[in-house]
Structure 1
Amino acid sequence: MNHSKQSIEAQQNTLSSTLFQAEAWRNACIKLLPQHMIKNPVMAIVWLGTIITLVSTLLGKANLVFGLSVTFILFITVLFANYAEAVAEAKGRGQALSLRQARQNLTARRIQHKDDVNGVQISATELKMSDLIEVRAGELIPADGEIVYGFATINEAAVTGESAPVLREAGTDKSGVIGGTKVLTDRIVVQVTAEAGNSFLDRMIALVEGSNRQKTPNEIALGILLTVMTVTFIVVVVSLPFIGHFLNIEISPILLVALLVCLIPTTIGGLLPAIGIAGMNRALKANVIAKSGKAVEVAGDVDVLLLDKTGTITYGDRQATAFYPLAGVTESELRQAAMLTSLADPTPEGKSVVALAKELGERIVDPDQAEFIAFNASTRISGVNLPDGHQVRKGAFDAILKFTLQNLENHSELKARVEQVASKGATPLVVVKDQNLLGVIELSDVIKPGIKEKFARLREMGIKTVMVTGDNPLTAAAIAAEAGVDDYIAEARPEDKLNCIRVAQNKGHLVAMVGDGTNDAPALAQADIGLAMNSGTQAAKEAGNMVDLDSDPTKLLAVVEIGKQQLITRGALTTFSLANDVSKYFAILPALFVAAIPQMSVLNVMQLGSSESAILSALIFNAMIIPLLIPIALRGVKFKPSTSTQLLRRNMLIYGVGGVLLPFVAIKVIDLMISPLLSL
């Protein structure tokens, strides 16, 4: 049965792959139309050359077999270049199809106010900005918006691919919701923040299909360079017949076209669009919406990262990690008292106290008729009044002293314990029973696993990490040391983030930061890369130039690597393409002039069979290298954290030296294969 199921899945995958390839080839052929070819000047010249060689051959300007062979090879070169771009676009359309399914046939229940129970059922496309909609458990959210009333668990798998539900709540920094996601529990009222056609799903669909992809500054600059090189070589090639006239050398149009194609940077010209599209696709695969391709590339040049401590470096939920009894108090006595104060505490901290006490061997005994005292922000104390009259409390150091009406001077041991806990970056809670101080609970905001290694990777890339936290300097220093960040800002206010970014930018740095709240919006807008959390407020999402659909603050680290990989891939393939051209000159130049200028034979270092085989071998290599490089263009050059100097040295060795040597070997092998055929 399992074998049969696997066989069916294999057949489906094969069919899907076949349909994908068919779509890519069909689109590659469509791109041969002039309105598409003009967008890529380098390949447009090759396409024009293909037409010239065909016409010249049919007019008898060259041997029929040789002329048609050159025409076919040039046509294949253009087709392969179009195929590279079509494959990248087809991958995006596959993502778009699944996204479209998430928004089909959505309806909305529009209401007048949060208590309105008589909502009007309308199509989601009729919703306007600021409309209020009610969404109940089991229903799909019809539009992007912010929860203004209630809270609910939501399944965002249709958009993010993550099946685990997430909690969204009004009045918090996790109030944002996406159209097309499903409410699993409770009832929420959502205020619409995006009209039909401008939602996150719409933006994602447009991005993955490439319709909204704008070329990045680096891509534009490289495109201009390639165009200038192409025009220069056109001028050189067009002037050759005039030079040949004075030297009594007749050069056919087919040979001139072949020379031009081998001179101009066809490889990178053919792969450049695919590299740009693939970079956007890699960002989208990581569930990051980049508002422009520029944002992805700028991420690769970032050298300062500004990170919030809570939720980014730490989990944000403090957990009880140790109990410290005072002299004369047993550990069991402290654990029992701490557990009693936390039995009715619904906070993660309270639950962790009970869990730690139980883990250390204490039995949970829920006292009958006890009066539980909930935590209060003004008193900063919680606890329980037992039926026998005893009062047990836990809270901040100064709040407990105030509760017990005791002086700090009389409790040097307790003060030392509190300072010991704080020096480790943890939060101390003091436990008291009646007027007797029992000891201290250590609450630690746990560092996320692997975060130190990630910061080490960034340091290897030359990127400085700065932690921003509202904690006191002592706690901030301890967490910074444990997490491995390069610097920290303690007791930071929202405006301090903005000032920090401006100071770094004034020193010539490119700064990235992550945020989710309205108070983060100014800093997100000021940063060169602002990564907003999708669960955050609309103000934050509008201010940032990237939005993380997973709402994972550590995603910024992945975004930087995606950006660097994009830059490295384009640089490596450009180096490889230009290095290829150097080798091709040694194949085709002697073939053109050796008959009239025998001294040119000194350049025939590859000892190619004949002029015709040399030209065809160079053109075949020129055509075949494009599809061979498509996987690298789409997947990206493998990225390893290192300095710019190390990256340059490695790329020059692999793609520079390798790009010069490979054509010598490949063209010689092709020549050995086709020379016998030409002699028939």
Structure 2
Amino acid sequence: MQSIPFAASMTGAIRKLDPRQQWRNPVMFIVWVGAAFTTALAIAEPFLGGPADSGGTVIPASFTWAIAVWLWLTVLFANLAEAVAEGRGKAQAETLRQTRTSTVAHRIDAYDAGTDPAAERVGTTDVSSADLTLGDVVTVAAGELIPGDGDIVSGIASVDESAITGESAPVIRESGGDRSAVTGGTRVLSDRIVVRITSKPGETFVDRMIALVEGASRQKTPNEIALSILLASLSIVFVVVALTLNPIASYAAKPVSITVLIALLVCLIPTTIGALLSAIGIAGMDRLVQHNVLAMSGRAVEAAGDVTTLLLDKTGTITYGNRRASEFVRMAGVRDQDLVRAAALSSLADPTPEGVSIVELARLEGVDVEAQAADSTRGEIVPFTAQTRMSGLDLPDGARIRKGAGSAVTAWLGDQGAPVSPAQLAELEEATSRVSQSGGTPLVVAVMDAPDREQGRQAGRVLGVVHLKDVVKEGLSDRFAELRAMGIRTVMVTGDNPLTAAAIAREAGVDDFLAEATPEQKLAYIRREQEGGNLVAMTGDGTNDAPALAQADVGVAMNTGTSAAKEAGNMVDLDSDPTKLIDVVRIGKQLLITRGALTTFSISNDIAKYFAIIPAMFMGVFPGLGVLNIMGLHSPASAVLSAIVFNAVVIVLLVPLALRGVKYRPANASSTLGRNLLVYGLGGIVAPFVGIWLIDLVVRLIPGF
């Protein structure tokens, strides 16, 4: 996080003293009006014969000026809290703005789907990236910046997105999938791609990021608006109270001075939370940006704190996303080394993660993979196809190895004149069923041996099964337990069959799962949860996730995903780490708890200020009120000034807490409320008693007080 110069923050705070900005915060606007009125009184007092008595007590000549100064400081400190929060966003925005340089775009004059992205630029016009419009098609070669947000319509390339995400490792972007979206300002490192622009000038992803982190387009959330209304209502109530106190004192012929009444009003209205409310909201979005998550609105951050149901994709979120070989299950009468060798040979030329994991497992089983590689290079590779559902290797001696779906492999053996016997078929079905029930995927390995030189026939047989499984990420079960402690129900969403989904859900520790999920089923599930009064969060990256992302209360789209997904969600994870949704929920809850804790503190510390000012105001009218001066404050003037000073200083002391947030611990609502009342409620009562008393010890040293 970048540090913000104090001078810049103070300049912003002073600029916010403009009443046209100040009135947006009703509580602090009342303080602003009180400061202006007290300043006018201080200027007028010499011409009116000096300060009047208050409640029968002589007021020092410097009292009104002292109150005016500290009232202005109270407003300034409140503005400073907001300016510091905004300043952090502006510093991040400046870093982003550096990526939004105007680049040269090679716009294709007449693009058709047959355009070859590897061809030289023929039929292109060089234009500024600022001149690109929605729907334009551009070609971007290695070493060039992508001129605007778009989707790759042809080609595949390695892209450096460090300017946006901060991650130095390049990523692969390609057409026709869920990783086709590219961001303007990122750099192509290899190959050439054709990109269709999906944003208008000034409305790119980076432009929106800049506006959001600067706070320029930040709207108050519903809870923030409701709290603002509550604070404004309390302020109005205390304005009425303050206006009625002077007529009461006048009956005793000892009216209270207007300066003291203004001081009372400022101390009784909830100035602490009123000063910090905006900073808390800005800081919540800022914490998300620090986690490389961009919230499209403060409402989304707030909703994350109230989430009760969390939907997570299985692949890439709960599991690593690629199936891995975990076990070789041999058939009766087959030697272990024969199965492992055949599986390794058929996988040496298989570049898929599954093929690589089979080779790695074979190496762990003691197979000399390097020696087998020499045999594989002399054979003919049989690639996997959707039609055959198999892959394999034909060796020079005539032996043939196949691995794939059980039904496809057994059918192949039958076609080769070596049908599987009923006994072996039953054994194979038992093995594949056992793997499937454990949540894995069975991959059957079979071989047609080299032809017998004497008989000229080939013998075929099933060697065994490779157990492929989705590996659950380490530590997820503990994180799901934390979410359960927060009162959040976790649901795994997967396209797998119910049997496989149940096994993985059990291993991961989620509360429920949705198997064989289609886009319509995801949408229907979210709606059912919402109709039951739950707030739902979901993560996704594909176009098929867009309806569910739009329906969810918190929809986190992956930056690697399609434009449709990013438009539908109300948050974008720049790192494309689906598990970060858990951190989003934690930050949202931290925002709500911080706001609640500081509101509790603000209202509680008014109690202590009441005991400081009320006795000071009316001891001259009603001497019996002296028993309420439990802090033993020196004089009415020192009591009032000490309370005003504490009221201003406490804002500054709480700014770091507002920006950092109250530490969140997973717990139910009642225990969280109890902790807040104990720490911030009781602390809000005790701290002002101590603070005002200490300040009074200093104020009493000032002549006249």
TM above 0.5: yes
Structure 1 contact 156–182 (Cα < 8 Å) conserved: yes
Deviations 1:611-664 (A, max 9, x none): 011111111110110010000111111111111111111111111111111111
Partner of 1:49: 34
Structure 2 contact 420–461 (Cα < 8 Å) conserved: no
Deviations 1:159-198 (A, max 9, x none): 1111111111100111111111111111111111111111
Partner of 1:572: 597
Structure 1 contact 70–616 (Cα < 8 Å) conserved: yes
Please tell me whether residue 90 in structure 1 is matched to residue 99 in structure 2.
no
Give the alignment of 1:9-24 within 5 angstroms: 20-24=5-9
Residue 11 of structure 2: SS of its match in structure 1? helix
Deviations 1:124-143 (A, max 9, x none): 11111111111111111111
Residue 648 of structure 1: SS of its match in structure 2? helix
Residue range with higher mean Cα deviation, 442-451 or 568-577:
442-451
Task: Report deviation, 1:679.
Answer: 5.0
Task: Report deviation, 1:239.
Answer: 2.1
Structure 2 contact 102–130 (Cα < 8 Å) conserved: no
Structure 1 contact 274–634 (Cα < 8 Å) conserved: yes
Q: Select 1:103's aligned residue among 100, 103, 118.
A: 100
Residue 554 of structure 1: SS of its match in structure 2? helix
Residue 190 of structure 1: SS of its match in structure 2? strand
Partner of 1:348: 353
Partner of 1:469: 494
Structure 1: gaps of 5 or more residues: 1-12
Partner of 1:151: 156
* Percentage identity across paired residues of the two chains: 55
* Number of equivalent positions: 665
Provide the rounded CA distance (Å) in 2 between the counterparts of 1:245 and 1:506.
Answer: 59
Residue 530 of structure 2: SS of its match in structure 1? helix
Structure 1 contact 58–64 (Cα < 8 Å) conserved: no
- One-letter amino acid of the counterpart of residue 383, structure 1: G
Q: Select 2:423's aligned residue among 410, 419, 431.
A: 410
Please tell me whether residue 665 in structure 1 is matched to residue 702 in structure 2.
no
Q: Select 1:600's aligned residue among 614, 621, 625.
A: 625
Of the two, which has the highest radius of gyration? 2
Partner of 1:618: 643
Provide the rounded CA distance (Å) in 2 between the counterparts of 1:50 and 1:596.
Answer: 26
Provide the rounded CA distance (Å) in 2 between the counterparts of 1:152 and 1:47.
Answer: 57
- One-letter amino acid of the counterpart of residue 564, structure 1: K
- One-letter amino acid of the counterpart of residue 608, structure 2: S
**TM-score normalised by L of structure 2:** 0.92
Structure 1 contact 311–553 (Cα < 8 Å) conserved: yes
Partner of 2:392: 383
Q: Select 2:213's aligned residue among 188, 208, 212.
A: 208
Deviations 1:41-100 (A, max 9, x none): 111111111122222122225233222211111111111111000000110110011101
Structure 1 contact 613–678 (Cα < 8 Å) conserved: no
Residue 534 of structure 2: SS of its match in structure 1? coil
Residue 236 of structure 1: SS of its match in structure 2? helix
Partner of 1:8: none
Partner of 2:64: 67
- The verdict on how the C-alpha distance between 1:254 and 1:658 changes in structure 2, with shifts beyond 3 A counting, is same
- One-letter amino acid of the counterpart of residue 402, structure 1: A
Give the alignment of 1:104-183 within 5 angstroms: 104-111=101-108, 112-113=110-111, 114-115=115-116, 117-183=122-188
Provide the rounded CA distance (Å) in 2 between the counterparts of 1:355 and 1:377.
Answer: 25
Structure 1 contact 175–536 (Cα < 8 Å) conserved: yes
Provide the rounded CA distance (Å) in 2 between the counterparts of 1:59 and 1:408.
Answer: 110
Structure 1 contact 480–488 (Cα < 8 Å) conserved: yes
Provide the rounded CA distance (Å) in 1 between the counterparts of 2:378 and 2:166.
Answer: 47
Provide the rounded CA distance (Å) in 1 between the counterparts of 2:387 and 2:524.
Answer: 31
Provide the rounded CA distance (Å) in 1 between the counterparts of 2:607 and 2:500.
Answer: 59
Please tell me whether residue 324 in structure 1 is matched to residue 329 in structure 2.
yes
- The verdict on how the C-alpha distance between 1:678 and 1:417 changes in structure 2, with shifts beyond 3 A counting, is farther
CA RMSD of the aligned region, Å? 1.5
Q: Select 1:239's aligned residue among 227, 230, 244.
A: 244
Provide the rounded CA distance (Å) in 1 between the counterparts of 2:518 and 2:410.
Answer: 29
Partner of 2:54: none
Structure 1 contact 155–181 (Cα < 8 Å) conserved: yes
Partner of 1:634: 659
Provide the rounded CA distance (Å) in 1 between the counterparts of 2:703 and 2:435.
Answer: 84
- One-letter amino acid of the counterpart of residue 379, structure 2: A
Task: Report deviation, 1:407.
Answer: 5.1
Deviations 1:412-433 (A, max 9, x none): 2222221222222111101111
Task: Report deviation, 1:384.
Answer: 0.6
Q: Select 2:230's aligned residue among 208, 225, 232.
A: 225
Residue range with higher mean Cα deviation, 668-677 or 406-415:
406-415
- The verdict on how the C-alpha distance between 1:447 and 1:408 changes in structure 2, with shifts beyond 3 A counting, is farther
Structure 2 contact 247–255 (Cα < 8 Å) conserved: no
Partner of 1:401: 410
Provide the rounded CA distance (Å) in 1 between the counterparts of 2:30 and 2:399.
Answer: 91
Please tell me whether residue 433 in structure 1 is matched to residue 447 in structure 2.
yes
Task: Report deviation, 1:673.
Answer: 2.2
**TM-score normalised by L of structure 1:** 0.96
Partner of 2:671: 646
Residue range with higher mean Cα deviation, 542-551 or 173-182:
542-551
Structure 1 contact 174–537 (Cα < 8 Å) conserved: yes
Deviations 1:383-421 (A, max 9, x none): 011111111111111111111123584222222221222
Task: Report deviation, 1:584.
Answer: 0.6
Provide the rounded CA distance (Å) in 1 between the counterparts of 2:284 and 2:571.
Answer: 14
- One-letter amino acid of the counterpart of residue 258, structure 2: P
Deviations 1:435-464 (A, max 9, x none): 211111111111112211211111010000
Provide the rounded CA distance (Å) in 2 between the counterparts of 1:408 and 1:298.
Answer: 60
Provide the rounded CA distance (Å) in 1 between the counterparts of 2:391 and 2:319.
Answer: 25
Provide the rounded CA distance (Å) in 2 between the counterparts of 1:21 and 1:606.
Answer: 36
Structure 2 contact 146–183 (Cα < 8 Å) conserved: yes
- One-letter amino acid of the counterpart of residue 540, structure 1: A
Partner of 1:561: 586
- One-letter amino acid of the counterpart of residue 441, structure 2: T
- One-letter amino acid of the counterpart of residue 471, structure 2: V
Task: Report deviation, 1:676.
Answer: 2.5
Partner of 1:424: 438
Structure 2 contact 420–462 (Cα < 8 Å) conserved: no
Partner of 1:81: 78
Residue 327 of structure 1: SS of its match in structure 2? coil
- One-letter amino acid of the counterpart of residue 352, structure 1: S
Structure 2: gaps of 5 or more residues: 52-59, 449-459
Provide the rounded CA distance (Å) in 2 between the counterparts of 1:598 and 1:243.
Answer: 15
Residue 251 of structure 1: SS of its match in structure 2? coil
Structure 1 contact 57–64 (Cα < 8 Å) conserved: no
Provide the rounded CA distance (Å) in 1 between the counterparts of 2:15 and 2:550.
Answer: 40
Provide the rounded CA distance (Å) in 1 between the counterparts of 2:496 and 2:196.
Answer: 34
Residue 321 of structure 1: SS of its match in structure 2? strand
- One-letter amino acid of the counterpart of residue 422, structure 1: S
Q: Select 1:445's aligned residue among 460, 467, 470.
A: 470
Task: Report deviation, 1:225.
Answer: 0.8
Task: Report deviation, 1:105.
Answer: 2.5
Q: Select 2:11's aligned residue among 20, 26, 32.
A: 26
Partner of 1:6: none
